[in-house]
Amino acid sequence: MGGTTRSGAYSKIGQQTCCPGTPVGRGLTAAAAADLGLIQGTAVGASLIDAHAGGLGVMGADVGGHQLPCEHQPVSSRMALICGTSSCHMAVSTQPLFVPGVWGPYLSAMLPELWLNEGGQSATGRLVEHVVRGHAAYRQLEERAERRCVC
């Protein structure tokens, strides 16, 4: 990606943008390294927001050998549902897609040279609980946890 942001109100966040994982600067400064207990010059990369990091993990997962519909298909055939206290539905495409009510498209926000679209809901922690409790192995795992006093 790489580019410049608009001037004015956006100038406080910096003038350059870069793709996630791109090396930033020359690594940790002496002061930052000392504060963190690390070595000066330790590599620093551009970050991702949490939902995008989760989406990257789903999009990059090896699905081979599991007879999934997306096996042998481009990454643009997948949709990631990233759940926590909120949830995000994330999908990438080779061309920008403008969909009313859907955020994006954002070029290279999650994967280089791919357009990201996302939608979501806030306060979906209960969705995670529903998915976990609805899993076929939930009762068995709950019993194991109780035997080990993990609950």
The residue with greater pLDDT, 8 or 28, is 28
| pLDDT for position 15 | 72
Query: Which region, left, alpha or beta, applies to residue 42 given φ > 0 means left and ψ of -120 to 50 means alpha?
Result: beta
| pLDDT for position 121 | 84
The rounded distance, in Å, linking the Cα atoms of 105 and 94 is: 11
* β-sheet bridge partners, residue 91: 117
The residue assigned the tokens 């930052």 is 32
For residue 86, what pLDDT band results from cuts at 50, 70 and 90?
confident
The rounded distance, in Å, linking the Cα atoms of 41 and 30 is: 8
* pLDDT, mean of residues 27-43: 96
CB atoms within 10 A of CB 110: 25
| pLDDT for position 31 | 97
- DSSP string for 72-90: TS-GGG--EEEESSSEEEE
The rounded distance, in Å, linking the Cα atoms of 61 and 58 is: 5
The residue with greater pLDDT, 128 or 26, is 26
| pLDDT for position 1 | 47
Of 20, 15, 13, 1, which Cα lies nearest the Cα of 107?
1
